[in-house]
Structure 1
């Protein structure tokens, strides 16, 4: 077989019609052309994001979430243009393609309902930006930092450094707590009980000193010490402070708790434990044991009323 015959064979192989999309015949050559065009546009998108957009956005001093949104939207726009160009190059009529996709969407709409919902939710997240990369969020029982926002899902890194893939629809249809949204400052309330025998002014001053000595507590808004009420065993006090970084919330709370314990011990302020008084009102068998000098202990079991009578009469005789 000559070289010319090999070329002719390969030409027939690549130009052989595999199937039709609408009125357009598709061969191996057209499919490869479609893939090559998509790869080229994908490489173009990566180049634009890494070489052009990121340095330009960094010079504008935009936050990380804003830069991520711009680069992600640019990526999807370039890919969309690439798909349209690829269809045009292989000769596919886009109007006919829209009709075909319309019929297919009716047939498989139920199967792709969740995927479509997550896709639209992803566009909403990128456009409205209720959450951004780097935000500390709580979704259901999941709390962590947003590391990636894609069209279908969002990646949240938990406080245990575990990456959790959350569908975008959960961020749109469910209640989401964003600790970093707009104003990242968060308030920490620490409740503590102090003994009624403590000096109230000393307690107030000690709690204020704890707040001012913590380097992560903000001076504005100013820390507050509140007397909430009178508990069963203690005054109920509350130390209220503000911090700038919500991700430091558990650490700062722990530091303040430890500082309160040390400060109270230094100032002689007692943190009491709950105390209860037990009053027995119904007659119950109560063991009675009476010891007299020179005799063995006489013990028995009498009810509460008998013990009371013995205490008023017989006990007087025994004591003589």
Structure 2
């Protein structure tokens, strides 16, 4: 057990010291988990703290405890890490061996936890995929898409790239529903019907009030847009579908036609047989 494996800073590292190092790290890891349970059960539940803030505080406390555990473990086996020079030396060696991406993702993870451009529970767009933030780790963030697919995104992408967060600040979301109506329809009936559809849906907010826009003249229809506001972005696909179905039913009741694309075809009569065309000189 006392067989020397190698030396660090003129300190002999034996098998027993390695085992003791792992035991100390394990004790601090268990302590971190217990603290997380106490925070969730005893403190956060009473103070009614926002879910995103809870997650940030828990992750920060975990990082602090594990850093303290690492320092204690190194000192326990005789390695003094109180000097910043040694820590910087370890980081520079790691970066030199190709850990630039890991380091940048770790720093970006800290930025996400402190600045909180995203937090657990937010509805975000990752590329062309929509999903909810379920976990922010040291290196990456997990997004759960609407199809229940987990997308693992490196933290550095959230810091250095454009990010769409539908839940940041004010969570209200505007949903635009486009529909075309035939030119023979009564315009006032169309606008009144669309407003009724919005007013009848229980998840559409009264304030801001829904509104209807005439967006222009298409090839075979007036292009109308119904704009409604929702309290939270998570339900917008279902609400969009509900309103589309309600528009179809309402237009059928009111005799409003939703046209399909049409083209007028003019057929000219053929010239009589024997018709001669003048020849050019």
TM-score normalized with structure 1 length: 0.80
Is the contact between residue 95 and residue 103 of structure 2 (CA under 8 Å) also seen in structure 1? no
Over the aligned positions, Cα root-mean-square deviation in angstroms equals 2.1
**Distance in 1 separating the partners of 2:188 and 2:274:** 46
Offset at residue 60 of structure 1 (A): 1.6
Instruction: Work out whether 1:165 is the aligned partner of 2:131.
Output: no
Name the counterpart of 1:178: 165
Consecutive unaligned residues in structure 1, runs of 5 or more: 1-13, 287-303, 310-320
Q: Secondary structure at the match of 2:198?
A: helix
**Distance in 2 separating the partners of 1:16 and 1:229:** 84
Which structure 2 residues correspond to residues 18-167 of structure 1 after superposition, within 5 A? 18-52=5-39, 54-94=41-81, 95=83, 97-98=86-87, 100-101=89-90, 104-105=93-94, 107-108=96-97, 111-167=98-154
Q: 2:214 aligns with which of 224, 227, 232?
A: 227
Q: Secondary structure at the match of 2:244?
A: helix
Offset at residue 232 of structure 1 (A): 2.2
**Distance in 2 separating the partners of 1:240 and 1:53:** 40
**Distance in 1 separating the partners of 2:246 and 2:212:** 15
**Distance in 1 separating the partners of 2:273 and 2:193:** 51
Offset at residue 280 of structure 1 (A): 6.1
Bigger-Rg structure (1/2) = 1
227 and 163 in structure 1: CA distance in 2 versus 1, 3 angstrom threshold:
same
**Distance in 1 separating the partners of 2:243 and 2:182:** 19
Is the contact between residue 224 and residue 241 of structure 1 (CA under 8 Å) also seen in structure 2? yes
Which structure 2 residues correspond to residues 254-265 of structure 1 after superposition, within 5 A? 254-265=241-252
TM-score normalized with structure 2 length: 0.91
How many residues end up aligned between the 2 structures?
A: 274
Instruction: Work out whether 1:278 is the aligned partner of 2:278.
Output: no
237 and 107 in structure 1: CA distance in 2 versus 1, 3 angstrom threshold:
closer
Consecutive unaligned residues in structure 2, runs of 5 or more: 276-281
Name the counterpart of 1:210: 197
**Distance in 2 separating the partners of 1:246 and 1:102:** 41
Q: 2:271 aligns with which of 305, 308, 312?
A: 305
**Distance in 2 separating the partners of 1:219 and 1:137:** 25
Structure 1 window deviating more from structure 2 (94-103 vs 253-262): it is: 94-103
Offset at residue 213 of structure 1 (A): 0.4
Is the contact between residue 139 and residue 171 of structure 1 (CA under 8 Å) also seen in structure 2? no
188 and 102 in structure 1: CA distance in 2 versus 1, 3 angstrom threshold:
closer
